[in-house]
Amino acid sequence: MKVKMWGVRGSIPAPGPSTVRYGGNTTCIEVRSDDDSLIILDAGTGIFPLAQTLLTRLPITASIFITHTHWDHIQGLPFFVPLYIPGNMVRIHGAYDLVSMQGIEQVMNVQMQYSYFPIREAELRAGVEYETLTVGEPVAVGDATVTPVLLNHPVPNLGYRVACNGRSMFFTGDHEPWANIYPPDDPEHANYQAMIDHRYTELYAALGELDLLICDAAYTLAEYPPKIGWGHGTFDHAIKFAQRIGAKRLMCTHHEPTRSDDELERVFAEAMSRHPEPGCEVMLGREGLEILL
Amino acid sequence: MAQLTLELERKLTTAVERMPAFPKSVQVILEMTRDINCLPRNLVGVIEKDPVMTIKILRVINSAYYGLPNKITSVGQSVVYLGINTIKNLALSFAAVGILPRFNTTGFDIQRYLLHSLSVASIARLLCEKFARAEADPGDCYIAGLLHDFGKVVFAQFMVGEFMKALAITVDSGKPLYAAEIEVIGADHAFVGALLAKKWKFAEPLVNCIRDHHAPDAEPSAMLDCLRMADAICRKLAFGDAGNPWREEELTALPVRFGNDIEATITALGDLEKIINDAQAFAQIGTER
């Protein structure tokens, strides 16, 4: 299995001279299974350069898994060029949206309203299929399986565990560790904490052993307090998460759009200094980074 | 009843989607959520006092898409799974539907109904904590109390003529409301509430409690006992009103676990003033009983 990063930025693309090394595109990860089946995790702007590389190998079959429908994870979808070429097959998977009470089939339709985009969904020429996923139920893609796991973000966010011939990786999408909403002296505190603990037990059981964890690590410890509840974690959260599940490698992603490359390396080094023995290889997500599992 | 079931299920499940929530929770949710930093625990505190919002949230979280191995039975638990911001936005979308009018043409007083439901919920939880702690979860008993009469709001909203007739029969003849409902509609609020709860994949014990709360012969459980006893206490003390006044002959059918001295059970519960004051404040009912 091969993993390649095409977008590692959170919230909004951040092109420019200060982000050249890590890249300015929003979230997109290409995963190739052992039989070369194409799995794409999220369709942020990074999916556009990925699409360019596919045009020499048409027709293609692509299975896109959307973690959640915030713009930085779907914005590149209408620019996924294979959608406009007959003969290609694109399967789009994602969560059921609670507030609109609709499945993932709305993801293109919402973006391709004529006032906002010049091409209508009906004009796509590839075969397009939508599958609204059930949490915990694996989807087979070639010789790999992709299992959705419900995490914590302001909209339902599915993390995806991809497994192929004994190797496995997990991408959180956007995720903030669960926190107790009751202060310690509140009578509800203990009960709520027990529910959170149960939630973690379920999560760890669902993930099992991992060769690679790609985790939302948007903030530093100092930045986090005023952003509690925004649905993102810190470098320290990600490191502890990797340690707890015994992941062999951890990649931190969802970099803040205002963070320059130098600043990113500085805050990463600072976080690592608090964890001198993280117990796994820890790296920063970077556009173009490829990992063979 | 089988034929009626299909017809009712079709009509009522779509109807409940459009059902507005209670005035106080809509008002408070709209106020609270203007502040981006509103406290999650305050938000949960409001949602779990509103039967309509609670039902809508449990319905979503227990839907097949989330594939949860165990049923979610409380608003707090839903927050753990969906995150507070999702719950906040859901609550806002429920608030946007509007508010239940205090009275509709049936004359059923929605705020006194809410006072009844909240009182039964809190007293069922208290009964569980004091008498059945090892056998049932107090939080589950609260939800059972909050939702046990949900079928009545559904009737009041969507089967106006029939429910008005049933209410009138109870007033005129002293017949229990559920019997009058069966006479007029062919099914009572317990049956319809349970039908919907089952369709929405609520936890089985909760479905059973809603179904059996007027059935003394139903298979007993600690949760059902607490619910039935709390319902009896609230009706005897006239905490709120859900169209079914207390009848002394019901004494003989109370759950065996509590004996047949309802006054002794009430005394054992201690001071209920805070519970009732809180419920009254939320139901927006002054000191009237």
For every residue of A150-193, which 3-state class applies, written as one string?
EECCCCCEEEEEEEECCEEEEECCCCCCCCCCCCCCCCCHHHHH
DSSP secondary structure letter of residue B149: T
Angle at A102 between CA A97 and CA A103, to 5 degrees: 80
Q: What is the mean pLDDT of residues A181-209?
A: 94
Ramachandran bin of B174, using left for φ above 0, alpha for ψ from -120 to 50, beta for the remaining angles: left
Q: What is the mean pLDDT of residues B199-217?
A: 94
Chain A residue closest in CA terms to B80: A196
Q: Which of A133, A136, A153 sits opposite B83 (nearest CB)?
A: A153
* Count of C-beta atoms within a 10 Å radius of residue B161: 10
> What's the pLDDT score for residue B286?
59
Scan for tokens 């995806």, then name that residue: A160
> What's the pLDDT score for residue B101?
86
Band the pLDDT of B289: cuts 50, 70, 90. Answer: very low
Q: What are phi and psi of A251, to 5 degrees?
A: -115, 125
CA–CA separation, A253 and A218 (whole Å): 7
Inter-chain CB proximity B44 and A132 less than 8 Å: no
Query: 3-class SS at A39?
Result: strand
Chain A residue closest in CA terms to B56: A98
Return the percent helix, strand and coil in chain B, to nearest 5. 65, 0, 30
Is the pLDDT assigned to residue B228 strictly greater than 50? Answer: yes
By residue range, what is the domain housing residue A118? 2-292
Query: 3-class SS at A281?
Result: strand
> What's the pLDDT score for residue B263?
94
Is the pLDDT assigned to residue A19 strictly greater than 50? Answer: yes
Chain A residue closest in CA terms to B44: A181
**The pTM is what?**
0.90
Q: Is-contact B94 B56, C-beta < 8 A?
A: yes
> What's the pLDDT score for residue B284?
84
> What's the pLDDT score for residue A100?
82
Inter-chain CB proximity B86 and A192 less than 8 Å: no
Inter-chain CB proximity B86 and A99 less than 8 Å: yes
> What's the pLDDT score for residue A88?
98
Is the pLDDT assigned to residue A131 strictly greater than 70? Answer: yes
> Would you state the torsion angle of the CA atoms of residues B17, B84, B204, B150, taken in this order, to the nearest 10 degrees?
-40
Half-sphere exposure of B195 (CA within 13 A, CB side): 22
Inter-chain CB proximity B80 and A133 less than 8 Å: no
- For residue range A53-78, what is the model confidence (pLDDT) as tens digits? 999 999 999 999 999 999 999 999 99
What is the maximum span of chain B, computed from C-alpha positions, in angstroms?
A: 53
> What's the pLDDT score for residue A221?
98
Q: Is A191 on the interface with B (CB under 8 A)?
A: yes
Residue among B59, B153, B67 at smallest CA distance from B106: B153
DSSP per residue over A43-105, as a string? -STTHHHHHHHHGGG-S-EEEEE-S--SHHHHTTGGG-GGGGSTT-EEEEEEPPBTTTTB-TT
Give start-end residues of each CATH 1.10.3210.10 domain in chain B.
110-283
Q: What is the mean pLDDT of residues B96-114?
A: 87
Q: Is A221 exposed, middle or buried (0-12, 13-18, 19+ CB in 10 A)?
A: middle
> What's the pLDDT score for residue B69?
72
> What's the pLDDT score for residue A62?
98
Band the pLDDT of B84: cuts 50, 70, 90. Answer: confident
Q: What mean pLDDT value characterizes chain A?
A: 96
Query: 3-class SS at B161?
Result: helix
Q: What are phi and psi of B68, to 5 degrees?
A: -75, 135
CA–CA separation, B60 and B67 (whole Å): 11
Burial letters B22-36, b for 16+ CB under 10 A, else e? bbbbbebbeebeeee
Q: Is A86 on the interface with B (CB under 8 A)?
A: no
| Residues in Cβ contact with A101 at an 8 Å cutoff, skipping those fewer than 6 apart | none
Q: Is A286 exposed, middle or buried (0-12, 13-18, 19+ CB in 10 A)?
A: middle
> What's the pLDDT score for residue A271?
98
Return the residue in A102, A152, A198 with the most chain B beta carbons within 10 A, the one to mutate for interface testing. A152
Query: Is the link from the previous residue into A59 a cis peptide, with omega within 30 of 0?
Result: yes
Q: Is B35 on the interface with A (CB under 8 A)?
A: no
CA–CA separation, B62 and B82 (whole Å): 11
Q: Is B63 on the interface with A (CB under 8 A)?
A: yes
> What's the pLDDT score for residue A31?
98
Bridge partners (DSSP) listed for residue A281: A249
Residue B150 amino acid letter = F
> What's the pLDDT score for residue B3?
59
Selected residues 121-150 of chain B with any CB under 8 Å from a CB in chain A: 139
Inter-chain CB proximity B84 and A192 less than 8 Å: no
Question: What six digits make up the tokens of B144?
Answer: 């059972």
- For residue range A207-231, what is the model confidence (pLDDT) as tens digits? 999 999 999 999 999 999 999 989 9
Q: What mean pLDDT value characterizes chain B?
A: 90
The whole-angstrom distance between A135's CA and the closest CA on chain B is 5
Predicted-complex ipTM score: 0.83
- For residue range B125-139, what is the model confidence (pLDDT) as tens digits? 999 999 999 999 999
Most confident of the following: A17-21, A116-120, B61-65: A17-21
Residue B242 amino acid letter = A
Q: Is-contact A198 A182, C-beta < 8 A?
A: no
Scan for tokens 């929530």, then name that residue: B21
Question: What six digits make up the tokens of A251?
Answer: 């990649």
The whole-angstrom distance between B179's CA and the closest CA on chain A is 37
Question: What six digits make up the tokens of B236?
Answer: 């005897």
> What's the pLDDT score for residue B287?
43
Residue A43 amino acid letter = A
Chain A residue closest in CA terms to B139: A191
Q: What percent of chain A has pLDDT over 70?
A: 100
> Cα dist. B239→A103, B175, B261 in Å?
43, 20, 19
**How many domains are there within chain A?**
1
Query: 3-class SS at A140?
Result: strand
Inter-chain CB proximity B86 and A156 less than 8 Å: yes
Residue count of chain B: 289
**H helix intervals, A166-285:** 189-207, 235-245, 261-273
Inter-chain CB proximity A134 and B63 less than 8 Å: no
Is the pLDDT assigned to residue A91 strictly greater than 60? Answer: yes
Inter-chain CB proximity A188 and B76 less than 8 Å: yes
CATH number of the domain that A191 lies in?
Answer: 3.60.15.10
CATH of domain B110-283: 1.10.3210.10
Q: Is A119 on the interface with B (CB under 8 A)?
A: no
Band the pLDDT of A268: cuts 50, 70, 90. Answer: very high
CA–CA separation, B76 and A187 (whole Å): 13
Band the pLDDT of B105: cuts 50, 70, 90. Answer: confident
Q: Is-contact A3 A285, C-beta < 8 A?
A: no
Residue among A137, A166, A171, A145 at smallest CA distance from A242: A171
Query: 3-class SS at A30?
Result: strand
> What's the pLDDT score for residue B4?
65
| Residues in Cβ contact with A67 at an 8 Å cutoff, skipping those fewer than 6 apart | A27, A41, A42, A73, A94, A157, A158, A159, A160, A171, A172, A173, A174
Q: What percent of chain B has pLDDT over 90?
A: 66
